[in-house]
Amino acid sequence: MIKVGLIGYGYWGPNLARNFAETEGVCLAAIADAHPDRRAAAARRHPGVTTCDDAADLIAREELDAVVIATPIETHYAFARAAIERGKHVLVEKPLASSKAHAEALGALAHARDVRLMVDHTFVYNGAVRRIRALIDSGDLGELLYLDSVRVNLGLLQQHANVIWDLATHDLSIMDYLIDVRPVAVSADGTAAAGFDHENVAYVTVHFDNGFLAHFHVNWLAPVKIRRMLLGGRQRMLVYDDTDPSEKVRVYDKGVDVDMRNGETRRQILVSYRTGDMYAPTFDRQEALALVAREFADSIRQRRPPLTGAAAGIRVVALLEAAERSLRARGQRIEL
Ligand SMILES: NC(=O)c1ccc[n+]([C@@H]2O[C@H](COP(=O)([O-])OP(=O)(O)OC[C@H]3O[C@@H](n4cnc5c(N)ncnc54)[C@H](O)[C@@H]3O)[C@@H](O)[C@H]2O)c1
């Protein structure tokens, strides 16, 4: 049995607690939250689990093999560091840390102490996203041309983070999982509209050397909830709409061919667009967090790096940090 302690039982923590409680070979043993209301909610939902108010007390518990951290971003580094130093395996909520330097320090420390460090890039464990990866691998889409993502809704403002660190983390982690080529630069624009302390509307562009381009629109002030990603390939293009209950992934047999064989002048280039059928592939509908919990447990048991380990966490934080620097420099392109 892997004994797990959870720090943070706010909005997301209960989902982690539920999934760890249901994972085979795992025992959810303790939950820490600074708020009495949240501790009471945890005790009601998970009778028998020890609750405490202090994260340090939980981390110090000898009987725990692993610690799961679901507190606000700015606390991730200190809690993860303390847990790793005590020899615990650690799962940190996204993003891994609030700076690349901190993310790298956690990765190095986990390596030195030979414990597993994993980040909850939830969407990497989502059936639709994994199906898209399989479509890319099978060559169905052909050469990848661009990724265009919109993740907007009204609300859930974070007190200490802007909308990029909160929402774009999801899309950047999806991009990190789907696109093997590594980006070279990031630019970002945004505004703290309506007198907010942090940017709540933002546009992030990620640049690649090979011409592939990725763009992310994140917004906490949108009247409707949109979670839509376009992935353009030369052979086929797809739309991933996470809010669509039945056809989240649609693959369009549409593409473009540019034929230069007849000559080099612009007039002679033959551009042909193909328009064919659309199909909606099936995929595994299991809750992503169940797979997150299982992957964390399996990586501990098998003493191997988890799918979303320190390296993926560091790459995503590096993109977030570059986007933040670009925001402060009026959209200047920041090389990675
Ligand atoms: N993977 C996902 O889809 C997803 C979704 C939402 C949030 N998250 C991540 O989960 C983390 C938490 O976000 P949230 O929305 O649940 O935040 P939240 O504010 O709702 O909950 C955080 C909880 O941590 C507790 N807490 C804070 N500091 C503490 C401390 N020092 N000691 C003990 N308890 C403390 C708070 O009392 C609160 O109950 C963030 O990193 C966020 O990015 C991930």
Q: What are the boundaries of each domain within the chain?
A: 2-123+288-319, 126-284
Neighbours of 41 (CB within 10 A): 19
Pocket lining: 7 vs ligand 1, CB cutoff 6 Å: yes
17 within ligand 1 shell (Cβ under 6 A): no
Ligand 1 centroid – CA 73 distance (Å): 8
Compute the distance between CA of residue 292 and CA of residue 29 in angstroms, rounded to an integer: 18
Q: From 3.30.360.10, 3.10.450.50, 3.30.70.100, 3.40.50.300, which CATH number describes the 126-284 domain? A: 3.30.360.10
Predicted structure pTM score: 0.96
Q: How far is CA 32 from CA 38, 45, 84, in A?
A: 9, 14, 17
Q: Taking the CB of residue 82, how many other CB atoms lie within 10 A of it?
A: 17
Ligand 1 mutation target, pool 6, 11, 98, 174, most atoms within 8 A of CB: 11
Task: Give dist(CA 262, CA 191) in Å, integer.
Answer: 48
Counting from 1 in the atom list of ligand 1, the atom nearest the Cα of 73 is 41
pLDDT in tens, the chain (336 residues): 999 999 999 999 999 999 999 999 999 999 999 999 999 999 999 999 999 999 999 999 999 999 999 999 999 999 999 999 999 999 999 999 999 999 999 999 999 999 999 999 999 999 999 999 999 999 999 999 999 999 999 976 666 789 999 999 999 999 999 999 999 999 999 999 988 889 999 999 999 999 999 999 999 999 999 999 999 999 999 999 999 999 999 999 998 877 766 556 665 667 778 788 999 999 999 999 999 999 999 999 999 999 999 999 999 999 999 999 999 999 999 999
**Is the separation of the CB atoms in 142 and 136 below 8 Å?**
no
Ligand 1 contact via 160 beta carbon (within 6 Å): no
Quick one: which of 41, 53, 42 has its CA closest to 20? 42
Tokens encoding 34: 């600074």
Which residue's structure tokens are 């992503």? 288
Radius of gyration of the chain (CA): 21
120 close to ligand 1 (CB < 6 Angstrom): yes
Task: Report which of 145, 126, 163 is spatially closest to residue 242, judged by C-alpha positions.
Answer: 126
Query: Does CATH number 3.40.50.1820 belong to domain 2-123+288-319?
Result: no
